[in-house]
Amino acid sequence: STSLLWFRRDLRLGDHPALAAAADHNHRVLGVFVADDVPLDASGSPRRAVLARTLAALAQAMDGRLLIAHGRPRSVLPRLARAVDADVVHVSADYGPYGRRRDEQVQRALQDAGVEWVATGSPYAVAPGRVRKSNGERYAVFTPFYRGWTDHGWRKPARSGSGVDWVDPGEVDGITAHDPQEYARTVPAGMSLPEVGEQAALDGWRTFRDEALDDYDGDRDRPDRPGTSHMSVYLKWGSIHPRTLLADLAGRRSTGAASYRRELAWREFYADSVFHLPESVWTSVDPVIDRMAWDSGQPAEERFEAWRAGRTGYPFIDAGMRQLLAEGWMHNRLRMATASFLIKDLHLPWQRGAEHFLEHLVDGDYASNNHGWQWVAGSGAQAAPFFRIFNPLTQGEKFDPSGDFVRRYIPELRDVPGRKVHRPWELDGGVPAGYPEPIVDHADERAEALRRWQQRG
Ligand code: FAD
């Protein structure tokens, strides 16, 4: 008989424990991806396009033998299992709130059909929920989590899936193959997407490892330099597994390698937080933040629009917001600075910004994004306190000292030399044509944010 391998956030063939388990179980494997409208409708068009292209790359690596079906997994999978006489469905476990609910339903439907369900591995080095204090409680704070996570350890990379006898989807009766390429065509105008797929992920990782990893500790905060790995989009869809990266980091003693391992652990920490507190995706972990006064109506909505478009008049903030619109990706330093600006200079709730990011990010991930926003807001599992307010000017001057990052994304300021570009209102000729005056005064709004914080209920 046949094994069914249901691909979800594990769109690769290398280092794939569920694929190795499926191939061991039965000689023949049907690989399937189910296009499910619930998560698809909730994803912005850049993320859907990246998914479609990643599926195309996976299908190519499988010589075209990937079946893409459309519908509700709980009805599609039992039907498929029957069609190819499969006695087992293999998956990598999904720990997101929707994925867990969906998988429970699918498991019940498969049980009714007499089909076994086997979950091997997950999108994380250590499955969410696994690292706990000695009394069984979750870690609410990152540093002890990180220690526990390191002590727990992870498996070595799994065998590759090459040499698998994939079932030809053409042999499967009664299922219409779905073409996800329509999503690939709906990328917002002017946005350039990264290369996708397993090979692009491996190539990108090797280039970063060989050319930038040793300097990562110093350069990771510098958006003007190619200092970070850009692995987030690949980790999102499982084109590469963090275990592959961690295995490569092992034995490297540089501070860069140590910092990189720690950043990967943040991703795991946020997934662990969401595993224990699924509602924390949209609800503040510490509700103290919800008792503050937030702005609404006009001019708040106009300011929100200016923030989204990268037209606040603060060049560092605007360059970050325009990077998001142009590439579907934003440097971490800018994610923090622009989030702080929305929450603490414009006095808008973090959820509004989180939604905008998810709409545009190709790496958009509920755990990392929404907990990243909560970290900045001061409401998260382990947050910076609310009264830590990023200064949009000094952030720019410190982390983009020559102004190159700003000039790359803001053509109106392209002729302003050096670091002066961070304060266009101080230029002799005034703010260059076409670029806005600051929409708010940072010093005033900082004081206002602190006042509201003190007066919270
Ligand atoms: P690198 O610096 O090369 O880091 C390597 C990997 O470590 C990343 O790919 C990522 O998987 C992980 N990582 C690094 N920093 C963090 C972090 N602070 N939190 C969690 N994981 C981290 N990351 C996402 O993957 N998806 C998101 O939707 C997302 N939204 C964010 C929103 C806000 C407000 C903030 C402050 C951070 C957000 N991050 C998110 C985390 C971080 O900004 C990105 O992971 C990082 O910028 C991706 O670029 P990179 O792969 O080059 O990172």
For ligand 1, atom 42, the nearest C-alpha belongs to 332
Q: Is the pLDDT of residue 76 over 80?
A: yes
pLDDT band per the 50, 70, 90 thresholds, residue 288 = confident
Residue 239 has pLDDT above 90, yes or no: yes
> Quick one: CATH architecture of 2-122?
3-Layer(aba) Sandwich (3.40)
Task: Give percent of the chain with pLDDT exceeding 70.
Answer: 99
pLDDT value, residue 87 = 94
To the query of whether residue 237 is one of the catalytic residues in this protein, the response is no
Q: 170 to each of 5, 27, 167, 262, 424, how far by Cα in Å?
A: 16, 18, 8, 45, 61
> Which entry of 266, 329, 375, 453 is annotated as an active-site residue?
266
What CATH class does 287-454 carry?
A: mainly alpha
Confidence of residue 19 (pLDDT cuts 50, 70, 90): very high
The pLDDT assigned to 185 comes to 79
Q: Is the pLDDT of residue 55 over 70?
A: yes
pLDDT at 27: 80
End-to-end CA distance of the chain: 63
Catalytic residue among 116, 263, 412, 445: 263
Q: What is the pTM of this model?
A: 0.97
Q: Are the C-beta atoms of 191 and 326 separated by less than 8 Å?
A: yes
Mutate to test the pocket of ligand 1, among 124, 232, 268, 270 (most ligand atoms within 8 A of CB): 232
The residue with tokens 């619109």 is 325
Q: Do domains 124-157+198-276 and 287-454 have the same CATH topology?
A: no
Predicted pLDDT at 355: 97
pLDDT by residue (tens digit) across 360-410? Answer: 999 999 999 999 999 999 987 666 788 889 999 999 999 999 999 999 999
Specify the pLDDT at position 289.
87
Q: pLDDT band for position 161 (50/70/90)? A: low
Average pLDDT over residues 229-253: 96
Q: How far is CA 189 from CA 42, 45, 325, 327, 447, in A?
A: 20, 11, 9, 11, 39
Q: Ligand 1 pocket, 409 CB below 6 A?
A: no
**pLDDT over 90 at 210, yes or no:** yes
Mean model confidence pLDDT for the chain: 95
pLDDT > 90? residue 195: yes
Determine the 3-state secondary structure of 435 from DSSP. Answer: coil
> How far, in Å, from the CA of 75 to the mean position of ligand 1?
35
List the domain boundaries for the chain: 2-122, 124-157+198-276, 287-454
CA gap 135, 133 in Å, rounded: 5
* Predicted local confidence at residue 382, as pLDDT: 65
Give pLDDT tens digits for 406-454.
999 999 999 999 999 999 999 999 999 999 999 999 999 999 999 999 8
Whether 166 is a known active-site residue: answer no
CA of 124 to the centre of ligand 1 (A): 14
CB of 270 shorter than 6 A to ligand 1: yes
Q: What is the mean pLDDT of residues 143-157?
A: 96
Mutate which of 222, 267, 352, 382 for ligand 1? The one with the most ligand atoms within 8 Å of its CB, which is 267
202 marked as part of a ligand binding site: no
Q: Higher confidence at residue 380 or residue 108?
A: 108
Whole-angstrom Cα distance, residue 241 to residue 261?
13
> Is 333's C-beta closer than 6 angstroms to any atom of ligand 1?
no
Q: What is the CATH number of domain 124-157+198-276?
A: 1.25.40.80
The ipTM estimated for the assembled molecules is: 0.99
